[in-house]
A and B are shown apart, each in its own frame.
Chain A
Amino acid sequence: MAIIQTSKLYKDYATNGVTVKALRGIDLTIDRGEFSALAGPSGSGKTTLLNIIGGLDHPTNGQVTVNDILLNEQSAKELARIRLNRIGFIFQAYNLIPVLTAIENVEYILLLQGVDKEERYQRSSEILREVGLGDELHRRPQELSGGQQQRVAVARAIVSQPDIVLADEPTANLDQKTGAMLLDMMHDLNKKKGITFLFSTHDQMVMERAERLLHLVDGQVADDEWKKK
C-alpha cells in the first residue's frame, strides 16, 4: 500500500535571475514498510525532494500525497499538523532542542499531540530504551555524543508512530562505525515495527544497507534498484 506518491514533481529555484531546476519530474511511490534510500551526489535534489514530501516546501509543479492526503491543498497550519502526526523527521545534525533532556525531546512530540503525562513518559522512555539510551534519559543534548544525539532524533521521529520517517543524510556528521550502527538500528526498527523509512545519502556504507536505492541525478530518478526484499 502506497504511503507516499509523487507525480511529475518539479521544483525551480530562482536566485539572482538564474533558475535552478532542482527537481525535474519525479514520479515516485513508497509503500508501507519500505527501507529506502535516495542516493545521489551533492546538489542532485535529495534534500529538496525530502522537504517537499515532508510538507516543508512546495513544489513548483506536480503533486504529493501522504497516505492519500494531497499536500498541495493544505494550509500552513494543517501542514504543521500533518508533519506532527504523520511524519517523523531526522536531519543531519543538531536535531534536538538544546534546553530539553533526551526524554523531554522525545516527549515534546507527544506533548504537542496532547498525550497525557504518564503515557508520554512511558512511551518515550520505552523508545529511548529501544534505541539504547535507557541510561541517558535525563541528559541534555550537549552531554550526549553525536551518535547518541542522532538516536534521540530517531526516537523522537518514531515515538508517535508516523506513517513515514524522512531522514536527510542522518549519518553525514557521524563517523563510519557510529553511522553504521545507527543505520542498523533503524533497519531493526523497520523490521520489528514495520516503520517506513526514506533517507537520503551519498555514503556507500548507507547505500549498502538500503533495501531500495533511488538514484537521483540532476533532479530526476535515474535508477530505481531493489536490492533485497
Chain B
Amino acid sequence: MQNYKIIIKLAWRNIWRNKRRTILTLLTIVVGCAMIILMNAFAKGGHDQMIEDAVALNTGHIQVHEEGFWDSQTIDYAFKPSEELISTIEGHEAVAGYSRRVHAGVLVALEDVSKGAMIQGIEPEREKTVTNLHEKILPGGRYLEKSDSTHVVMGEMLAKNLKVKVGDRISIISQGFDGSIAAEHLSIVGIFKSGNQEYDRILMLIPLSQAMKTFSMMGYVNSLVIRLGDPDEMGEVIEACREVTEEYSYPIEVMGWKTLMPELVQFIVMDDVAAWIFDFILFMVVAFGILNTIQMSVFERTREFGVMLSIGTQPSQVVAIVLTETVFITLVGIIIGSIIGIGSSVYMHFNPIDYSAYADEIAVWGVNTTIFPATVTVANVVVTGLITFVLAVLFSIFPARRAAKLDPVEAIRTL
C-alpha cells in the first residue's frame, strides 16, 4: 500500500493551492487554540492563586478540631493535640508549618456600647510558617512577638469601628472554656489590612499563651492549623492525622481546605463552568471555520474529483485525501497555536495581571486575590489540541464523503 504517499502529496499540495484561504483557516485554528490554552491557563493560575491566598491568609490547608467546632465556631469544642499528633505532623515532609489556635467570640467594651469581635490566640513564630497575616500589618504597628502577653493585633475595619489606633487599650469580655467569665485589658500593637472584609472587620490576634490564661483553656486548643509545602499531598497528610486522632477518646475532625471553605470550591466550579462554555464557543468557531474551508475547497474541485473517480480512484481514497488535508492544516495550526498559547501563558505567569488597584472592589466578593497569573499545564495543552483535532476531523468527514460520493458523470459536466 504505497497509496498513502500520493495521498499525502496531493493533500499537501492542495492545501497550498489557495494560500489565502489556508492561511485564514490556519489563523482561526492558531488563534482559537492559543486563546483556549491561555484562558484555561488563567483559570488554573487564578484559581491556584485564590486557593493559595485563602489558605495563606488564615485557613491553612488542613485543620484539626474536636468534632463540631468548625460548624459551631464556639470555644467549647476544644482538644489537646497529643505528642503523637504533633510528631506525625512535624515528621511529614509535605508539611511546611503548623500552629495551634484558640478561637473565642468576644465583646469589646467601649464607653457606652460594646461590639462583637473574634479573637484568635496564636503562636506568633509558628503562625508565620502557616499564614502571612504578619505581612499585612499597616505601617506604625507590628505583628505579635513571642514575648507578648496582653497585646493585640486587629483588623483595619474593626479598629476604625472601635475608633482605636496603635497604642490604645481595649477591654474584652467573654466566656472562658470552663464557663467562667473571661475579661482582659489588651494594648493594640498593630493593625492589619488583609483584603478579606470579614477578617478586617472582626478579627483580633493575641498570643496563644495569653489566650490560654484569659480563656482558662487548661492546655486545650480549638484548632491545629497545618500549611503544606506540597498541596498535592493533602490527602496523605489528612490520612496520617486521622490515624492518630482515631485513638482519641472523643471524636476529632481533620478537614482539608475544600471542606473548610466550601464557598471557594463553589466559586471555582462556577468559574470553571463559565470557562468551559467559553472554550466550547471557541472550539465551535474553529470547527466551523474548518468545515467551511474544506467544503469550499471540495466544491471548487468537483470536476477534478470527478476525473479522479473516473480514472479509477476509489471513493475511500478521495475521503482519505480530503481528511489528510484537514489533518495537515489542523496539525500545523495546533502546533503553532500551542506554542503561542504556551508562550503567552508562561509570559503571563511571570507577568501576572495586577488588579491590586481594585483590591477593595474585589474584596466585596470575599476574595483577597489581586494578582492573577496564568499557569499552563500539560493537560490543558494536550486536551485543547486533541479536542481541536477530533473536531476538525469529525467536521471534515461530511465534505469528504460528499466528494467521494460524487457521480463522476455529473462532476465532469461541471466546469
Contacts and interface: CB of A to CB of B under 8 A. Distances in A.
B304 A97 contact: yes
A24 interface: no
B307 A97 contact: yes
B20 interface: no
A98 B304 contact: yes
B13 A99 contact: yes
A83 B13 contact: no
Given A94-B303, A108-B6, A56 B308 contact: no
Interface stretch (B114-122, B311-319, B394-402): B311-319
Contacts, number: 63
Interface in B1-48: 2-3, 5-6, 9-10, 13-14, 17
Contact of A97 (B2, B10, B315): B10
26 contacts: A56-B310, A57-B409, A80-B309, A80-B312, A80-B313, A80-B314, A81-B312, A84-B311, A84-B312, A89-B307, A89-B311, A91-B307, A94-B304, A94-B307, A94-B415, A95-B307, A99-B10, A99-B14, A108-B6, A109-B312, A111-B2, A111-B5, A112-B3, A112-B313, A112-B317, A114-B2
Interface in B265-310: 303-304, 307-310
Nearest to A76: B315
B311 A99 contact: no
Contacts of A108: 6, 311
Given A84-B312, A89-B311, 18 more contacts: A54-B310, A56-B310, A56-B408, A57-B409, A76-B315, A80-B309, A80-B315, A83-B312, A84-B311, A91-B412, A94-B304, A95-B307, A96-B307, A100-B10, A104-B9, A111-B2, A111-B3, A111-B6
A77 interface: yes
Nearest to B10: A99
A161 B303 CA distance: 25
A56 B413 CA distance: 13
Contact of B314 (A77, A95, A116): A77
Nearest to B13: A99
Contacts of B317: 112
A125 B313 CA distance: 21
Nearest to B6: A111
A187 interface: no
A108 to B, nearest CB: 7
A178 interface: no
A72 interface: no
Nearest to A92: B412
Interface of B: 2-3, 5-6, 9-10, 13-14, 17, 303-304, 307-315, 317, 408-409, 412, 415
A83 B310 contact: yes
A51 B2 contact: no
Interface residues of A, number: 29
The 6 closest A-B pairs by CB, nearest first: A84-B312, A99-B13, A83-B312, A111-B6, A57-B409, A56-B409
A156 interface: yes
A98 B408 CA distance: 17
A88 to B, nearest CB: 8
B405 to A, nearest CB: 10
Contact of A83 (B5, B10, B303, B311): B311
Contacts of A99: 10, 13-14, 17
A85 interface: yes
A100 B315 CA distance: 19
B401 to A, nearest CB: 14
B17 A98 contact: yes
A104 B310 CA distance: 17
A98 B415 CA distance: 14
Interface string A125-143: 0000000000000000000
Given A98-B17, A100-B10, A111-B2, A85 B312 contact: yes
Contacts of A95: 307
Nearest to A96: B307
A117 B9 CA distance: 15
Contacts of B409: 51, 56-57
B118 to A, nearest CB: 76
Contacts of A100: 9-10, 13
Contacts of A83: 310-312
A112 B312 contact: yes
A161 to B, nearest CB: 14
A149 to B, nearest CB: 12
A54 B14 CA distance: 28
Nearest to B312: A84
A83 B314 CA distance: 10
A97 B309 CA distance: 12
B311 A109 contact: yes
Contacts of A84: 311-313
Contacts of A97: 10, 304, 307-308
Contacts of A111: 2-3, 5-6
Nearest to A157: B311
Contacts of A104: 9
A54 B9 CA distance: 28
